[in-house]
Amino acid sequence: MFLEKISLFNYKNWHESTIELSAKINCFVGLNGSGKTNLLDAVFYLSFCKSRFSITESNNILHGQEAAGVKGVYNFGERNETVSCAVSRAGKKRIKRNENIYAKFSDHIGLIPLVMVSPDDSTLVTEGSEERRKYMNSVISIIDRNYLTDTINYNRVLLQRNTLLKTFAEKRYFSKETLELYDEQLSVLGTRIYNARIRFIEQLVPVFEKYYVEIARSAEKPNLLYISQLAEKPMNEQLAENHKKCREAEFTTIGIHKDDLELHLGNFPIKKFGSQGQQKTYLLALKLAQFEFLKSFFGYKPILLLDDVFDKLDKERVKALIGMVSDNRFGQIFVSDTGEDRIRELLSELSGSNKIFYVENGTVINEETV
User: Out of 73-77, 241-245, 351-355, which region has the weakest mean confidence (pLDDT)?
Assistant: 351-355
Question: Residue 252 falls within a domain, yes or no?
Answer: yes
**CATH number of the domain enclosing 349:** 3.40.50.300
Backbone region of residue 268 per phi and psi (left: phi > 0; alpha: psi in -120 to 50; beta: other values): beta
Residues whose CB falls within 8 Å of the CB of residue 305, separated by 6 or more in sequence, listed in order: 40, 43, 44, 114, 115, 116, 117, 118, 333, 334
Question: For residue 118, is it within any domain?
Answer: no
pLDDT tens-digit series, residues 248-280? 999 999 999 999 999 999 889 999 999 999 999
Note whether 43 and 148 are same-domain residues.
no
CA distance 270 to 96: 42
The identity of residue 343, as a single letter, is I
Strand partners, 279: none
Residue scoring higher pLDDT (317 or 67): 67
Q: Is the confidence at residue 351, as pLDDT, over 90?
A: no
Considering the domain architecture, whether residues 219 and 293 belong to the same structural domain is answered as yes
Residue 192 maps to a domain:
yes
pLDDT at 360: 97
The answer to the question of residue 56 being in a domain is: yes
Dihedral angle computed from the Cα positions of residues 307, 311, 315 and 319, in that order, rounded to the nearest 10 degrees:
-10
**295 and 201 assigned to the same domain:** yes
List the beta bridge partners of residue 117.
306
Which pLDDT belongs to residue 312? 79
> Is the predicted pLDDT of residue 353 greater than 90, yes or no?
no
- Chosen domain end from 299, 333, 349: 299
pLDDT per residue as tens digits for the range 194-216:
999 999 999 999 999 999 999 99
Name the average pLDDT for the chain.
95
Tell whether the model's pLDDT for residue 313 goes beyond 90: no
User: Is residue 120 included in any domain, yes or no?
Assistant: no
Assess whether 314 and 331 both reside in one domain.
Answer: yes
Closest CA to 186 of 213, 210, 216, 162: 162
370 falls in which pLDDT band (50, 70, 90)?
confident
Q: In what order do the strands lie in the sheet with 2-11?
A: 14-20, 2-11, 67-75, 80-88, 93-97, 100-101
Confidence of residue 219 (pLDDT cuts 50, 70, 90): confident
Q: Do the beta carbons of residue 308 and residue 119 sit within 8 Å?
A: yes
pLDDT at 334: 98
Q: 287 and 306: one domain? A: no
Give yes or no: residues 164 and 277 share one domain. Answer: yes
**Whether 282 and 323 share a structural domain:** no
226 vs 321: CA distance, rounded Å: 26
Looking at residue 320, its amino acid is: A
Residue 297 has pLDDT above 90, yes or no: yes
**Do 287 and 183 share a domain, yes or no?**
yes
| Domain closes at, from 274, 299, 324 | 299
List pLDDT tens digits, range 78-106.
899 999 999 999 999 999 999 999 999 99
Tell how strand 80-88 and strand 93-97 pair up: antiparallel
**pLDDT tens, residue by residue, 144-184:** 999 999 999 999 999 999 999 999 999 999 999 999 999 99
Does 314 have pLDDT greater than 90? no
Same domain, 214 and 159: yes
C-alpha pair distances (Å), 308 with each of 116, 118, 225, 313, 337: 11, 6, 28, 11, 5
Domain count, the chain: 2
Q: Which domain holds residue 198?
A: 125-299
Both 52 and 164 in a single domain?
no
172 shares its domain with 230: yes
| Predicted confidence band of residue 20 (pLDDT cuts 50, 70, 90) | very high
Residues 275 and 338 in one domain: no
- The pLDDT score that the predictor gives to residue 217 is 86
Does residue 87 form part of some domain? yes
Please report which confidence band the pLDDT of residue 18 belongs to, taking 50, 70 and 90 as the band edges.
Answer: very high
Q: Is residue 21 within 8 Å of residue 329, measured between CB atoms?
A: no
